Amino acid sequence: MLKPVVDWDTCVGCGACTEVCPEVFQLKDDKAWVVGLEKCNTCNCQEAADICPVQAITVTEE
């Protein structure tokens, strides 16, 4: 299963990942939270990782 992880020290809260993958990422307190981990296989989390301007998202296989 693919698992996206957000590095909160790096995330600047731009919201790009929540637009690409709104079922998985939501903004809260200006940080992206992974709220729908089980939805990761139905959308493209790698695209969210690629679009993040500060490379705060890594997608790992578990």
Q: Which residues bind ligand SF4 (CB under 6 A)?
A: 6, 11-17, 32, 52, 54, 56-57
Question: What are the backbone angles phi and psi of residue 25, rounded to the nearest 5°?
Answer: -110, 140
Minimum CB–partner distance for residue 39 and ligand SF4 (Å) = 16
Question: What DSSP assignment string belongs to 6-53?
Answer: E-TTT-----HHHHH-TTTEEEETTEEEE--GGGGGGTTHHHHHHH-T
CB of 19 to ligand SF4, least distance (A): 9
User: C-beta of 41: minimal distance to ligand SF4 in Å?
Assistant: 19
Q: Which is nearer to ligand SF4, 28 or 62 (CB)?
A: 28
